[in-house]
Amino acid sequence: MISLRNIHKSYEMGKNSLHVLKGIDLNIEKGEMVSIMGSSGSGKSTLLNILGILDNYDEGEYYLDNKPIRMLSETKSALLRNEYIGFVFQSFNLISFKNAMENVALPLYYKNVSRKKRNKIALEYLDRVGLLDWAEHMPNELSGGQKQRVAIARSLIANPKIILADEPTGALDTSTSYEVMNILRNINDEGITVLIVTHENDISRMTKRVIKLKDGLIEADYVPQPLEEIAVSA
Amino acid sequence: MFDLDKWQEILATIKKNKLRTFLTGFSVAWGIFMLIILLGSGNGLQNGFEAQFRGAAKNSLWIWTGRTSVAHGGMNPGRPIRFTNSDYEDLKNNFARTEHISGRFNIWWGNQVTFNNEVHSFGIRNVHPDYQKIEALTITGGRYINHLDLKERRKVTVISTLVRDILFKDKAEEAIGKYILVNGIPFKVVGFFEDQSRNENNMRLIYIPITTAQTVFSGGNRLHEISMTIKANTLEEAQQAEKEVRSRLAAVHNFDENDRRALGTWNSFENYMQMQSIFKGIRLFIWIIGIGTIIAGIVGVSNIMIIVVKERTREIGVRKALGATPFSVVSLILFESVIITTFAGYVGLVLGVGLLELLSGIDTQFFTNPTADFRIAVSATLLLIVAGAFAGFVPARKAASIKPIEALRDE
């Protein structure tokens, strides 16, 4: 599904160049659930941005579903994002003046699905994350966990092959975090590849593979010890 | 390219951001509203001035006599100067710059005009046929004084529609052919006139052939004033003609041609030019204020658009991450701006025109019928729409081109 060969990325910081990724080789198969860990500055967010076609890379090769991803125009990359990737962000990034249903439906707008149809589909996805009753609510009327569930529903609606989640539990308390992780695991069980950037060990232990980054290189790539007792409290 | 879904998306955004929409719209509507009010009042002012001036031909020269104030040709000052019919004949036949000319013989007493039991006092003007053109009178029925009237010294009169209505009341249609008494002497009504100036004094008048008046009211060959229009296209030509008339009359009547007490002249061309420069000033003033208003509107729209784009950077980032192309982002913001400015511009236009419509009843000497040039108002609205779109375009394109990840970065 994802294949990275010797990916390099530097940022120009004034006169200095900051070499963030120093040659990443990585293969992720379809249906994997991977967490990317590392301290801040290790390059994990940069890697996620490149995987999500939100950012370019300087050197190397990136194949997404066997398609080379290299020097794409803004328009082309927007279309690829829409087709392949669903995003979940730490700060949810719901559009504040749209209600839950409209937020979920937004990716389908960019797929030219009619309003009626996409709102209907959005309701199905809200039902899947248990928020059907909250469809008409505005984001500021939802709790953090609810917002993240809306965001997950939004990331799923366009039938992506990959879900990229950037610290999806970073703004949530432990029990809500576990709820969100459960939803992500259920998604993964349906065969969708899930990539999670996190710095929390217990979150990474709920995934099936951990990639540890350090100073722009992969330091470790291992299967974590599963977290036996997942405490889901109401 | 009509995309219903896009419009729905934009309308939904507008509906849910009422304050922002209102602020953008208000600055546009206000700018257009003020522009229309300004244009309208400017036109009202100009219309008022022009109506004042409409009463007489713009190239007319008015000449009257007085007493000499300086010694000339061995004569003492204080000698009265008098026009006679021969002065009129001379200027009419021998002066090349004469276009239309009429003498005036004034009756200083009486002015009593009677029909049946209606007894009134109106001004009596005794003139030549050309006078109609000099005063720019409109004949609304019958005819004006003609040469046959003068030759035969007919007792005929041309009265204003106002005088007609006062004397004949509801029998106004039958007035022509009726006889009215002027200072006790019967005159036959042959026509009605209207004076285009808005001054009522110019309507409380009747006209009588000058030769008749000289005979009936014992004036001999005496003239009190000469009114004429001159062939002149420039102020210099008009002033030259005036000078020539003065020296011609000074030679005949033996006075110093620069003696303004002996011979008074008033040249409407000078007045006309003054009026023109006043109009020019008013127009310039209106344009300066109008352009200022438009610039203020443009700056207002630009400001708001820049803030809107800044405020929506994160939203744009989200949309891009979800698959929005740069084009769809730019068009979303621009269409929104265009819809708001168009609608608000239209509201300003309607309100402004509406207010002018309310004011159109105003009809005073200096302010008449304020109307705005609709084309200018519409072009100003279009200018604001384009300016708003352009002001939004630059930051919108910038926002659309930044990486979503930067727009989404947590602060």
What single string gives the DSSP state of each residue in A77-112? Answer: HHHHHHHHEEEE-TT----TTS-HHHHHHHHHHTTT
Question: Per the structure, how many domains does chain A have?
Answer: 1
Averaged pLDDT score across all residues of chain A: 89
Which ranges constitute the DSSP H helices of chain A? Answer: 44-51, 74-84, 100-109, 115-128, 144-156, 174-189, 201-204
Task: Tell me, yes or no, whether A14 lies in a domain.
Answer: no
Q: What's the pLDDT at B47?
A: 78
Contact B223, B85 (CB under 8 A): yes
B321 touches chain A (CB under 8 A): yes
Sorted by sequence, the CB contacts under 8 Å of residue B208 that are 6+ apart come out as B124, B125, B126, B127, B145, B156, B157, B182, B187
The sheet carrying A67-68 orders its strands as A16-28, A2-13, A59-64, A67-68
A139 touches chain B (CB under 8 A): no
Q: What's the pLDDT at A55?
A: 84
CA-atom Rg of chain A in angstroms: 18
Contact B224, B108 (CB under 8 A): no
Q: What's the pLDDT at B1?
A: 40
CB B323 to CB A75 under 8 A? no
Q: Which residues of B283-300 are buried (b: 16+ CB within 10 A; e: fewer)?
A: eeebeeebeebbeebbeb
Highest mean pLDDT (candidates A7-21, A151-165, B184-198)? A151-165
Q: What's the pLDDT at B409?
A: 65
Q: How many residues does chain A have?
A: 234
Please tell me the distance in Å from A158's CA to the nearest CA on chain B: 9
Q: What's the pLDDT at B366?
A: 67
Residues in chain B with CB shorter than 8 Å from the CB of A74 are 325-326, 400-401
Q: What's the pLDDT at A233?
A: 45
User: What is the sign of the dihedral through the CA atoms of B239, B245, B248 and B253?
Assistant: negative
Mean pLDDT by runs of 10 across the 411 residues of chain B is 68 79 83 85 79 71 90 86 91 90 84 87 92 87 91 93 88 87 92 80 89 88 91 86 91 90 87 82 84 81 79 84 86 83 88 84 70 78 80 78 71 48
For chains A and B, what is the number of CB pairs under 8 angstroms? Answer: 73
Question: How far, in whole angstroms, is CA B363 from its chain's centroid?
Answer: 12
Could you tell me the two tokens for B92?
């009419």
Task: Tell me, yes or no, whether A16 lies in a domain.
Answer: no
Q: What's the pLDDT at A12?
A: 82
DSSP B237-273: HHHHHHHHHHHHHHHHHTS-TT-TTTEEEEEHHHHHH
Residue A127, CB half-sphere, CA atoms under 13 Å: how many?
Answer: 6
Residues in chain B with CB shorter than 8 Å from the CB of A164 are none
CB B322 to CB A107 under 8 A? yes
Taking the C-alpha atoms of residue A178 and residue A174, their distance in angstroms, rounded to an integer, is 6
Residues in chain B with CB shorter than 8 Å from the CB of A49 are 403, 405
Looking at residue B398, its amino acid is K
Output the pTM of the full model.
0.66
Name the pLDDT band for A151 (thresholds 50, 70, 90). Answer: very high
Chain A, window 100-129: residues with a beta carbon less than 8 angstroms from a chain B beta carbon? 102, 106-107, 109-112, 114-115
- What is the helix (H) or strand (E) element at residue A37, kind and residue range? strand A33-37
CB A82 to CB B323 under 8 A? yes
Task: Tell me, yes or no, whether A216 lies in a domain.
Answer: yes
CB B16 to CB A81 under 8 A? no
Q: What CATH number has the domain bearing residue A131?
A: 3.40.50.300
Sorted by sequence, the CB contacts under 8 Å of residue B228 that are 6+ apart come out as B60, B61, B63, B91, B98, B99, B100, B101, B102, B130, B134, B245
Chain B, window 352-411: residues with a beta carbon less than 8 angstroms from a chain A beta carbon? 400-401, 403-405, 408, 410
Task: Tell me, yes or no, whether A97 lies in a domain.
Answer: yes
Q: Which residues of B161-178 are buried (b: 16+ CB within 10 A; e: fewer)?
A: bbbbebbbeeeeeebbeb
Mean local confidence (pLDDT), A80-88? 91
Contact B138, B193 (CB under 8 A): yes
CB B323 to CB A81 under 8 A? yes
Residues in chain B with CB shorter than 8 Å from the CB of A94 are 318
Contact A43, A216 (CB under 8 A): yes
- What is the helix (H) or strand (E) element at residue A64, kind and residue range? strand A59-64
Q: What's the pLDDT at A153?
A: 95
The sheet carrying A33-37 orders its strands as A85-88, A162-166, A193-197, A33-37, A209-214, A217-222
Mean local confidence (pLDDT), A107-135? 92
- Give yes or no for residue A93 having a pLDDT over 50: yes
Contact A166, A155 (CB under 8 A): no
Of B395 and A69, more confident: A69
Taking the C-alpha atoms of residue B12 and residue A54, their distance in angstroms, rounded to an integer, is 27
- Give yes or no for residue A36 having a pLDDT over 70: yes
DSSP E strand stretches across B69-155: 83-84, 98-106, 112-115, 118-121, 123-127, 137-142
Taking the C-alpha atoms of residue B281 and residue B165, their distance in angstroms, rounded to an integer, is 41
Residues in chain A with CB shorter than 8 Å from the CB of B323 are 78-79, 81-83, 107, 110-111, 158
Q: What's the pLDDT at B309?
A: 80
- The answer to which of A47-61, A163-177, B211-225, B383-397 has the lowest mean pLDDT is B383-397
Tally Cβ neighbours within 10 Å of residue A142. 19
Contact B33, B354 (CB under 8 A): no
CB B404 to CB A110 under 8 A? no
Q: What's the pLDDT at B339?
A: 84
Contact A48, A36 (CB under 8 A): yes
Task: Tell me, yes or no, whether A130 lies in a domain.
Answer: yes
Task: Tell me, yes or no, whether A63 lies in a domain.
Answer: no
Task: Tell me, yes or no, whether A23 lies in a domain.
Answer: no
- Domain residues for the domain of A149 are 31-54+73-222
CB B12 to CB A102 under 8 A? yes
Residues in chain A with CB shorter than 8 Å from the CB of B410 are 90-91
Looking at residue A162, its amino acid is I
Nearest to B194 by CA among B46, B99, B54, B366: B54
Task: Tell me, yes or no, whether A1 lies in a domain.
Answer: no
